[in-house]
Amino acid sequence: MRVQLITAAAVLLLSAAGATAQTVNPSLVGTWKSAPDQVKLTTDFDKSVWGSDASSVRTVDLVVRQAGDATLTVTKKVVDARGRAVPASTWIEEVQLTLGPPQDGVAARVEHDTKVVTAVRRFPDDPGYKWNLDGLRVKVVTFKDGDGSSIEIRYDTPEGRGSFWETLRRDRAPASKRSSG
């Protein structure tokens, strides 16, 4: 009898733990991508460093997993007039997040409880170097009146420089195409 009670209690506890672990809205699970945000670099200084007709390009990717953990990747680079990445201009900010339950925001906004677990900036040209992004805040927002195919990301650095918001769309590319990039 005692073994049966312990087994029943263990099953109950594991079931409760599984129920509370899944706090992320299931509609968020998947891969989300932004369109490239491209801005011409027009100052004399920019032209002297990057060349004429160079642009800064930012892309944002978010992968949300079933348990509520997520990876946000922000890639920034400078491209030349032909659209080629300029050497030593790329950096990647990778943010590990935990997403929690949704909360009603203003109007049709639904703000999802978001905690930054770790955040680092890496440079592909110098793989051993990384910069911790302490104090970074991220918000994930959906909309009650939306079609479920877009979310909004708010990315706030402690000093404000480099902060942005971006709309991401659900990535519907087949897995084989996503992994070949």
pLDDT above 70: percentage of residues in the chain: 82
Cβ-based neighbours of 46, under 8 Å, separated by 6 or more? 54
CB 1 within 8 A of CB 8: no
pLDDT category, 16, cuts 50, 70, 90? very low
**pLDDT score of 99 more than 80:** yes
pLDDT in tens, 30-66: 999 999 999 999 999 999 999 999 999 999 999 999 9
What DSSP assignment string belongs to 123-179?
Answer: -TTSTT-EEE-TT-EEEEEEETTS-SSEEEEEEE-TTSTT-EEEEEEE----HHHHH
Q: Whole-angstrom Cα distance, residue 156 to residue 122?
A: 18
* pTM of the complete model: 0.80
User: 174 falls in which pLDDT band (50, 70, 90)?
Assistant: low
Domains of the chain, earliest start first = 25-179 (2.40.160)
What does the pLDDT read at residue 29?
A: 93
Residue 8 has pLDDT above 60, yes or no: no
Q: What is the pLDDT of residue 23?
A: 65
